[in-house]
């Protein structure tokens, strides 16, 4: 996606903070290394999250929907028989401590990773989930908004989203992201910013690291979880804000690519992406080729909420006290 002047200062390439949590302790990032024999590296048997912490107007820092991200991490972990050894509450506190040690109050992206490490003594070699040790690492880097608020160009990928009987698509599994990487690679080779993937039934699933919304006939529409998508936390935030602040209910229903192409508005939602208008789809403009009014209103509302300006949603903010 294009680096731009978003809701906060643009940073084309993130600045890496010099502290990580690894092997049960905080350490300089350059020491947070793994052997090439790591099972997750060889077989893709890891699960992860992408979380943002936002600078608040009073100069403090708050992690957005930390509990929900860690609830999903623990759900994903169970799918791969990984035990990160920490509760949701402990993971939130560990993250806050990492940010304190980094010492930043600027917008930050946090990457927790729970993974399979090494065969336990006496275990037979091979691809396995049990009989393998588990590990947890966290790193974070300063990162502002990086998508273009004026809109991005998407392809419809020739890669299909895997079905839930091929991969646990509702878990954020590292190995599954080969599919997403191939889709992005194809989109960029075609001069676009991102790819929208259809599922095995030919219905819209999601974008490479975001969920898809459209305004069709004046209604806000997003594919249901049964469309083989990752149930995004930003997706849930948008559904909530649309209903509470903009009196707009969301229809959860299947959408074909032709319906998406004829929509009045299309936008993507994700922790990294935040909310970004799609102004061109498969080589054609979406409506007039400019961000739509509902998309723009949601983008504004989202920035107000993540920065603590909306009292009704402050329970979504986990403060990183100095």
Ligand X SMILES: Cc1ncc(COP(=O)(O)O)c(C=O)c1O
Binding interface with ligand X (CB under 6 A): 50, 180, 206, 209-211, 230, 232-235, 269-271
Question: What CA–CA distance (Å, rounded) separates 196 from 76?
Answer: 23
In the bound state with ligand X, the residue whose beta carbon lies nearer, of 88 and 287, is 88
Instruction: Give the bridge partners for 110, in sequence order.
Output: 51, 140
Q: Shortest gap between Cβ of 271 and ligand X (angstroms)? A: 3
Residue 145 or residue 271: which is nearer to ligand X going by CB? 271
Angle between helices 66-79 and 88-102 (to 10 degrees): 120
Cβ at position 272, least distance to ligand X in Å: 7
Instruction: Output the CA angle 271-283-218, nearest 5 degrees.
Output: 60
Q: How far apart are CA 28 and CA 266, in angstroms?
A: 42
**Pick 132 or 203: Cβ nearer ligand X:** 203
Task: Give residue number: closest CB to ligand X.
Answer: 232
| Residue 313: CB minimum distance to ligand X, A | 15
158 closest CA partner among 193, 192, 202, 191? 202
CB of 128 to ligand X, least distance (A): 25
State the Cα–Cα distance between residues 260 and 58, nearest whole angstrom: 40
Report the alpha-carbon distance of residue 281 to residue 263 in Å, rounded.
Answer: 10
Residue nearer to ligand X on the CB measure, 55 or 233: 233
CB of 219 to ligand X, least distance (A): 21
Where is 119: in which H helix or E strand? Answer: strand 108-119
Cβ proximity to ligand X: between 132 and 267 the closer is 267
Question: In the complex, what is the shortest distance from the CB of residue 68 to ligand X, in angstroms, rounded to a whole number?
Answer: 8
Q: Give the DSSP letter of residue 129.
A: S
Report yes or no: 77 and 47 within 8 Å, Cβ to Cβ.
yes
Q: Which is nearer to ligand X, 234 or 295 (CB)?
A: 234
State residue 272 phi and psi, 5-degree precision.
Answer: -70, -50
């Amino acid at each position: 996606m294009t680096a731009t002047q978003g809701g906060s200062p643009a940073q084309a390439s993130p600045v890496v903070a010099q502290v990580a949590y690894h092997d049960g302790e905080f350490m300089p990032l350059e020491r947070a290394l793994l052997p090439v024999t790591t099972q997750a590296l060889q077989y893709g048997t890891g699960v992860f999250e992408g979380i943002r912490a936002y600078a608040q107007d009073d100069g403090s820092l708050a992690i957005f929907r930390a509990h929900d991200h860690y609830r999903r991490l623990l759900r994903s972990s169970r799918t791969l028989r990984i035990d990160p050894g920490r509760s949701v509450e402990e993971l939130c506190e560990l993250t806050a401590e990492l940010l304190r040690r980094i010492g930043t109050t600027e917008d930050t992206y946090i990457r927790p990773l729970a993974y399979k490490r090494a065969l336990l003594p006496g275990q037979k070699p091979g691809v396995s989930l049990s009989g393998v040790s588990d590990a947890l690492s966290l790193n974070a880097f300063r990162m502002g908004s990086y998508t273009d608020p004026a809109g991005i160009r998407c392809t419809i990928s020739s890669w299909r989203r895997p079905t839930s009987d091929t991969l646990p698509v509702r878990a954020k599994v590292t190995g599954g992201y080969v599919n997403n990487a191939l889709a992005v690679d194809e989109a960029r080779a075609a001069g676009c910013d991102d790819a929208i993937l259809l599922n095995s039934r030919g219905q819209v699933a999601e974008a490479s690291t975001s969920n898809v919304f459209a305004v069709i006939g004046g209604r806000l529409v997003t594919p249901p979880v049964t469309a083989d998508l990752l149930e995004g936390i930003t997706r849930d935030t948008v559904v909530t804000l649309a209903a509470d602040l903009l009196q707009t209910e969301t229809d959860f229903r299947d959408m074909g690519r032709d319906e998406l192409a004829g929509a009045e508005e299309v936008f993507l939602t994700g922790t990294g992406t935040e909310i970004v208008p799609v102004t061109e789809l498969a080589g054609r403009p979406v409506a007039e080729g400019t961000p739509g009014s509902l998309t723009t209103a949601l983008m504004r509302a989202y920035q107000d909420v993540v920065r603590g300006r909306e009292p009704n949603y402050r329970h979504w903010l986990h403060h990183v006290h100095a």
